[in-house]
Every structure is written in structure tokens, then in C-alpha cells.
Structure 1
Amino acid sequence: MPLEPTTHRPDPQLSGTSPVASRRRFGRGALLGLFAVFFAPVMLAWSLNVWWPDWHPFGETNHGELIRPPWRIEDPAMLEAFKGRWALLHIADRECQAACMTMLDTTRRVHISLGKDYDRVVRAHIPPDDAPQGAPEPEVDLLDLPLPAGWVERFEADEKPFLLIVDPQGYAVLRYGADFSGKGLASDIARLLRISKIG
């Protein structure tokens, strides 16, 4: 009687291809995938904040100097004058000389360029305490404000004139020196207005 050929069938338990083993591998892979999706971005953000605090995403670099942490304007009269709007706040040198005049002209042009967002922004001028009160030439869209208490000490060492962007809650968030770019300022304020839910 001839013998029938036999086929060797490996034991799935020994070969590691059993349904149980496959499910275990799938479970581990799914767990690693969930970790990557939810925790990797958090770890990346933490690493960037700790090791590269000045890093910005491409295309999101501010042209002004970021004020860290933002400081709040506590002067009630100034906040009332802003009426919950974004503010381009000029800190002038004595008698507002050439650089100061150029700054006022540049911010006026930037303000006009905002178009439909024009009314969301206000311009304000603050002369130093030892300068004659008032902007050099009255402008319809320029608030002329007195120097708030405590500002002499805060800005005593700063080179003047300079410009601050103040948010609708009264926090100064960006600072610009006298040689700032009007195009850069326009880019910064346009982005702030675009992402802002207030003001």
C-alpha cells in the first residue's frame, strides 16, 4: 500500500503568527501611534520653548521686538482714550524732532493702509515730561495724551523716540525703534488684527 505524502504544518503558537500574537503586535503599534499623535507635538513644543526660545515658524517672525512678558498700561485715562482698540503708541523725544516726525508720518500711512480695519486701530502721541505738551502738528486721527505717572522711570534708559503696539486689553506687546520699517509694521499689525478676537 503506497504511503500518502504528508504536509508539514507549523504550529501557529510556535511560529509567532497566531491570531493572538498578531493582535498583540497590532495593539502595540496602535499604542505607539496614539502616543506619536498626541504627545509628540507637546514634547516638540516644550523642547522648542526650552532650548530655542527665540525660534519662530517660517513666515511668522515679528518685525517689532516682542515684549516678554507683555506689560499692562494701568493709566485709566489712556485706556479710556483707546476705547478697546489696538493702539500705535508713540513715545516721543523732546519736541519731536526729525526721527519722531518720520515715525508719526509712517504710522499715519500704515493706519490709512488698513482700509476696513482702520477703525480698529488708534494712534497716540506721548511727549516726554520735559517737552512742551502737544503733538508737533495737530492731526485729526492722532490722540495727544499726557505722560502717565511712572513712565519716566520705565522708559528713562530707552532711546527715544520709539513705538509700542498696545492690544485692546491695554497690554504693550511689540516695540519698534525709530528706524523701524513701515512695511514691517503694517505686516505685524495686519497679522494681529487678523488673528485677534477682540478689538
Structure 2
Amino acid sequence: MNEQARAAQRRSRLLLVGLAALFFGPLLLSWGYRQLGLDWYPAPRLSGVLIQPPIAVPLDTVAAIPAGRWKLVVAGPCDEACWKTLVDLRQIGRSLPRYQEALARLYVHPPGQGLSAERLEEQPGMVQFEDQNGSLLAALSDAAPPSDTAFVLVDPRNFAMLRFRKDYDPRAARKDIDHLLRRFVAN
């Protein structure tokens, strides 16, 4: 073989090795990355606070809510901040038309401190529940401290799993709720 043929053969081999490295390199890198146990996936950014572990809430006593629904629960006496939260939840529910059958809004209040009839008319589809013995309010306060919680998201099996602080952003809350419903509600 002459010198020119050897150079061509060397270039061909280098090209073959380069192509093999280009193909097998990422495979080997990802395999090694996985074998080393490295975890690079970023944690999801929730605007709400995840309740760890989820706390059971006795919502079976509320007969007005059909079974199997996700519940947005506001608890306690209703001041202006509570009313703003109820309006925001109504808007969030309206902005998720695909999931309106899977979502319920619930306002739980102590005896004698419910919404007036005019205010209740402004909240179509919301269930108002007067907690006579205080067990539901106590369970909700165990799941989320009332001093810093605007509302709680309860799953279909009645576990409080996500709470939103009083200074929540309605758009971010809608995004969280949409993300959860998209993952867990079958259409």
C-alpha cells in the first residue's frame, strides 16, 4: 500500500470512530449518569404548599358534594380576604371548563357565621356547609394553619394535599390546579 492509500484508510477509520463516538457517546453518558445515581430533574415549582403527609378530612358529612370530586375548600368566618378567595376560586373554576365536573367549591364555616343570601347568589355552584360540631374545621386546621391559609385542595378520597397561603397568586394557583387535574382526571 502506498502512502496515499494509508492516509485515506486512516481518515476512514477516524471517521468511523467519530461516528461511533457520536452515536454511542450519549448512550454511554446517560447510562453512566443513571448508574451513578445522579438526579438532575428539577423539582416542580408549586405556588401552593404541599401537605406532607396528606391529612384525612371528614368531608363525607357534606352530602351536597358528589363523590369523586376534587374540592377547593375555604374554611372559617368570611372576611374580605375570604370573600376575595371565594371570588378567585369561582374564576379559577370557570377558567377550567374541561374539569368543571371534577371540581367542587366548598365554604365551611362555624355555626351562625355563613354568607348572606346576596353573597351566596354571587357564588353559583359553591356549597356552603355549617360545621355544627367543629370536627371538619378542626381537621382542616390540622391540615393547614388557618392564620396563613386561604384555601385547601382536597383530593377525591378526602385527603388535604395542597394548601395556598393568604398571599397566593390566583394565576399560579390556577396553574397548579390545572396541572393536578390534567394528570389525575380522566377525560
Within-5 A mapping of 1:57-72? 57=42, 60-72=44-56
RMSD: 3.0
Counterparts in 2 of 1:164 and 1:64: CA distance versus 1, 3 Å:
same
Q: How many residues align?
A: 152
Report Cα offsets for 1:55-108 as digits up to 9, x if no partner: x726x211101111111113421387242111110013x3x1110111111111
Read off the aligned partner of 1:135 and give its amino acid letter. Answer: L
SS in structure 1 at match of 2:45? coil
Check if 1:169 corresponds to 2:160: no
Q: Of 127, 132, 135, which aligns to 2:112? A: 132
Q: Which runs of 5+ in 1 are unaligned?
A: 1-31, 49-55
Q: Against the structure 1 CA distance between its residues 160 and 82, is the aligned structure 2 distance closer, same or farther, given a 3 Å change threshold?
A: farther
What's the TM-score once normalised by structure 1's chain length?
0.64
Aligned to 1:4: none
Asked if the contact 1:165–1:174 (Cα under 8 Å) also holds between the matched residues in 2, the reply is: yes
Give the 3 Å change call, closer, same or farther, for CA 171–79 of structure 1 in structure 2: farther
Q: Which residue identity does 2:47 align to in structure 1?
A: H
> Could you tell me how far apart the structure 1 residues matched to 2:71 and 2:52 are?
18
More deviation, 171-180/156-165:
156-165
Q: Is the 8 A contact 2:70 2:104 kept in 1?
A: yes
State the Cα distance separating 1:181 from its structure 2 match: 0.9
CA distance 1:133–1:187, shift in 2 (3 Å): same
* Aligned-residue identity in percent: 22
Gaps of 5+ in 2: 1-27
Bigger Rg, structure 1 or 2: 1
- Counterparts of 1:1-199 in structure 2 under 5 Å? 36=32, 39-40=35-36, 43-44=37-38, 57=42, 60-78=44-62, 81-92=65-76, 94=77, 96-127=78-109, 129=110, 132-136=112-116, 137-138=119-120, 139-147=123-131, 148-149=134-135, 151-152=137-138, 155=141, 158-159=146-147, 162-197=150-185
The whole-number CA distance in structure 1 between the counterparts of 2:124 and 2:154 is: 20
Instruction: Output the TM-score relative to the length of structure 2.
Output: 0.68
Contact 2:75 2:140 in 1 (8 A): no
- Give the Cα–Cα distance (whole angstroms) in 1 for the partners of residues 140 and 126 of structure 2: 23
Q: Distance in 1 between matches of 2:149 and 2:83?
A: 9
* 8 Å contact from structure 1 (residues 106, 182) kept in 2: yes
- Equivalent-residue separation in structure 2 for 1:155 and 1:125 (angstroms): 14
- The range that moved more, 102-111 or 78-87, is 78-87
Structure showing greater relative contact order (alpha-carbon pairs closer than 8 Å, 6 or more residues apart):
2
Query: How far has the Cα of 1:173 moved from its partner?
Result: 1.0
Provide the rounded CA distance (Å) in 1 between the counterparts of 2:56 and 2:38.
Answer: 30
Letter matched to residue 60 of structure 2: P
Superposed CA offset, 1:32-66 (max 9, x none): 989747644xx335xx9xxxxxxx726x2111011
